Amino acid sequence: GESVGLHLPTLSVQEGDNSIINCAYSNSASDYFIWYKQESGKGPQFIIDIRSNMDKRQGQRVTVLLNKTVKHLSLQIAATQPGDSAVYFCAENIAGYSTLTFGKGTMLLVSP
Amino acid sequence: GAVVSQHPSWVICKSGTSVKIECRSLDFQATTMFWYRQFPKQSLMLMATSNEGSKATYEQGVEKDKFLINHASLTLSTLTVTSAHPEDSSFYICSAREGLAAIYEQYFGPGTRLTVT
């Protein structure tokens, strides 16, 4: 299930389940989005990206869905594995700008 | 893939002292480097953007005189936390991008854990 801690929401799943991590963004001018995975004590790693002219993009075991109408992004991880345990962040970018704005993040805990 | 390193990986310093964190791009030339700060269980907050040979652009609320950023070469940027205080204790992460590379080609370092006692 999902719980909201003081700062970081947590999603707990069983190994083999599919996981869905959600992200709401606020800037309607954002037109490019990235999902990052951050393991404890490490920097973020790129997972998958999507541009605003798309509503779905698939990678290996991951799918990103974008709903611009409600400014919502989701990351679906198929057949979640213990190695997927980490904090996941969405990040948004506005065309013409080089900076990324990170969302709040969700901790994914995968139990064997 | 492109590799970005940070040194040190962790540092403990006394209140009132200054500490320097290095960010290096190991196999590409980083025209632009970004510095982020991350408090426990929180997101990454962009502190500043630096372009090689230019002054850094600081985000609103970040004191430029406290967080000195130098990007003197295409492979090295440094962040110096001056007169550090316990509230500066945080995880500092840099990222680097080459020239006109795409936004997703922003590679992150492993972070530096700063503890101010």
What per-residue confidence (pLDDT) applies to B2? Answer: 87
Q: Quick check: A43 and B109 CB within 8 A?
A: yes
Q: Is the pLDDT of residue B30 over 90?
A: yes
Q: Quick check: A46 and B104 CB within 8 A?
A: yes
Q: Is B32 on the interface with A (CB under 8 A)?
A: yes
DSSP strand E in chain B: where?
4-7, 10-13, 19-25, 32-38, 44-51, 57-58, 67-73, 76-81, 90-97, 106-108, 112-116
Percent of chain B with pLDDT over 90: 86
* Å between A24 CA and nearest CA of chain B: 14
Per the structure block, which two tokens stand in for B2?
A: 């492109």
What residue of A is the nearest CA neighbor of B105? A46
Euclidean distance between CA atoms B1 and B26, whole angstroms: 11
Euclidean distance between CA atoms A18 and A86, whole angstroms: 15
What per-residue confidence (pLDDT) applies to B100? Answer: 77
Percent of chain A with pLDDT over 90: 85
What per-residue confidence (pLDDT) applies to A8? Answer: 84
Mean pLDDT of B66-71: 96
Pairs of CB atoms within 8 A across A/B: 54
Q: Is the pLDDT of residue B63 over 50?
A: yes
Euclidean distance between CA atoms A57 and A65, whole angstroms: 7
Which residues are within 8 A (CB) of A90 and not within 5 positions of it... i.e. 6 or more apart? A23, A25, A33, A34, A35, A36, A73, A75, A102, A103
For residue range A86-111, list pLDDT tens digits in order: 999 999 998 888 899 999 999 999 99
Confidence bin at B46 (pLDDT 50/70/90): very high
Confidence bin at A7 (pLDDT 50/70/90): low
Least confident of A62-71, A74-83, B96-105: B96-105
Q: Is the pLDDT of residue A5 over 60?
A: no
What per-residue confidence (pLDDT) applies to B105? Answer: 85
